[in-house]
Chain A
Amino acid sequence: MDAIKFILNGGEVAYEGAATDRLLDVLRDCFGCKSVKCGCKEGECGACSVLIDGRLINSCCVAMGAVEGASVLTLEGYRETERFAALSKAFSELSAVQCGFCIPGMVLAAESVLAKNPHPSEAEIREGLSGNLCRCTGYNAIVNAVNNAAKEANGLW
């Protein structure tokens, strides 16, 4: 049987397991991407968000067969970028991180918003982050951080 081949954080990888296995589990258990968090396993919390071919997707709702040939980006790859540095700085400055569990998903959701719309309104940011739950109730600081990152981005997005 052929392995499932895909791009993970810029490098080609192969997965020998079943096509029905969950991308979330495979990323964490086989490829060591521990930034991808399991919050609910039913697409309701966004903690396992990754970018697949540039689209924000809940990795708990993806079977491995669906990523054959696709490019998957987790925070482990994204944190090497200048865009991540801008978001990280803004999140730090505004104390947008409390327990941190939701933050990898939040950061990738923010990237997804800014990639489509470098100058989003507050409402557009909130819509873009609406699938990512924060149980520390830190939404305002997170939204403000994304807003600041966008304002200070200097053409990064």
Chain B
Amino acid sequence: MVNGFVPKTLQEALELRATRDLVPYAGGTDLMVENRENVSYLFLGKLPELRQITVDGEYVRIGAAVTFTEALASDLVPPLMKEAVSRIAAPAIRNAGTFGGNLGNGSAKADSVLIEFVADAKLRLVSVRGERLVDVDKFYLGRKKLDLASDELIAEVLLPKRGLENYYYEKVGGRNALAISRVSFAGVFAEQDGKITNIAAAFGAVADTVLRWKEVEQMLIGKTLAEARALKADYLKAYEAHMTLTRGRVSAEYRKAVCMNLLGEFLAKFGI
């Protein structure tokens, strides 16, 4: 085969990755649009080690070459992730597009990555040297810049099994199908004994990476709903102050207004 390798095992893939200059290819739906010149692909889409969805005590583990269609058909994948994935493009793209590819493409518009940010997901990266776990927000160093060494591959997404039950998700696009996110938002809420234990909010498609400010979230952690309502104005002001958004297909001002509206709806849904 010219300009490409189809390894049979993950080990073989890692050896090829370590010794040659190859572009990892999973579903192809972003790479083929990019259409890079003079590259060789490392075809990963059929590797059994990357094609499983499993669970352990703490995590749902989604293989990097699992397609969005396969995730939608799985009982193991949490509803929040399914909702986001169901809004990606259209059936033919979901049949090919993968979790690893969505991450590796490095875009802040990646709909599955937004959920990984709000859920505090981890990624398992593998190489011939071994493996490491990295928090998804640490994996993104900037626009199209990833903490991925030239010999590493993304093996799995580790999505926490618990705590994603109460959520608010919205994708704002130009149309229903085949829409790239203009602004996307995911919020996760949890309370115990009348006190807020989690109020994570992530914003997609509005800057170089998905955005999340844990220090602002901290303002409401440990508070009752009544206390949170009293702090709401300050909390929203803190978000406004942090939100330096970039211009994309739509203006930065529009993006900010939509982000704040969606944040408001998230709070309202959970009584704040």
Interface residue ranges, A against B (CB under 8 Å): 1-4, 17-20, 22, 41-44, 46, 49, 55-58, 60-66, 68, 109, 112, 127-128, 130-133
A-B contact pairs, 17 of them (CB 8 A): A1-B1, A17-B2, A18-B4, A19-B3, A20-B40, A43-B89, A55-B96, A56-B92, A56-B95, A58-B92, A63-B31, A63-B43, A65-B4, A68-B1, A68-B6, A131-B89, A133-B178
Q: In the complex, A41 Cα to B45 Cα: how many Å? A: 21
Question: Given A68-B6, A131-B89, A131-B93: A42 and B33 within 8 A (CB)?
Answer: yes
Contacts of B93 in A (CB 8 A): 43, 58, 61, 131
Q: Least Cβ distance of A131 to chain B in Å?
A: 3
Closest to B2 in A: A18
Q: Select which of B25, B33, B39, B178 is within 8 A of A66 by beta carbon.
A: B25
- Besides the contacts A20-B3, A20-B39, A66-B43, what 4 more A-B pairs have beta carbons closer than 8 Å? A19-B4, A43-B89, A61-B93, A63-B28
In residues 1-41 of chain B, which contact A (Cβ within 8 Å)?
A: 1-6, 25, 27-29, 31-33, 35, 39-41
Q: In the complex, A135 Cα to B6 Cα: how many Å? A: 38
Count of A-B residue pairs with CB < 8 Å: 103
In residues 178-198 of chain B, which contact A (Cβ within 8 Å)?
A: 178
Q: In the complex, A4 Cα to B4 Cα: how many Å? A: 10
Q: In the complex, A131 Cα to B90 Cα: how many Å? A: 5
Q: Across the interface, do B177 and A130 meet the contact criterion of CB distance under 8 Å?
A: yes
Closest to B4 in A: A19
Number of interface residues of B (CB under 8 A): 30
Contacts of A131 in B (CB 8 A): 89-93, 177-178
Q: In the complex, A41 Cα to B32 Cα: how many Å? A: 8
Q: In the complex, A46 Cα to B95 Cα: how many Å? A: 13
B69 interfacial by beta-carbon distance below 8 Å:
yes
Q: Least Cβ distance of A43 to chain B in Å?
A: 5
B176 interfacial by beta-carbon distance below 8 Å:
yes
Contacts of B91 in A (CB 8 A): 56, 109, 112, 127-128, 130-131
Contacts of A42 in B (CB 8 A): 33
Q: In the complex, A49 Cα to B178 Cα: how many Å? A: 14
Q: Across the interface, do A63 and B25 meet the contact criterion of CB distance under 8 Å?
A: yes
In residues 50-96 of chain B, which contact A (Cβ within 8 Å)?
A: 69, 89-93, 95-96
Q: In the complex, A68 Cα to B6 Cα: how many Å? A: 8
Closest to B67 in A: A55
Contacts of A62 in B (CB 8 A): 28, 32, 96
Q: In the complex, A127 Cα to B176 Cα: how many Å? A: 10
Q: Which 4 A-B pairs have the closest CB atoms?
A: A19-B4, A131-B90, A65-B4, A130-B177
Q: In the complex, A3 Cα to B193 Cα: how many Å? A: 65
Q: Least Cβ distance of A15 to chain B in Å?
A: 9
Closest to B39 in A: A20
Q: In the complex, A1 Cα to B3 Cα: how many Å? A: 10
Q: Across the interface, do A58 and B178 meet the contact criterion of CB distance under 8 Å?
A: no
Q: Select which of A22, A58, A66, A109 is within 8 A of B45 by beta carbon.
A: A66
Q: In the complex, A45 Cα to B66 Cα: how many Å? A: 23
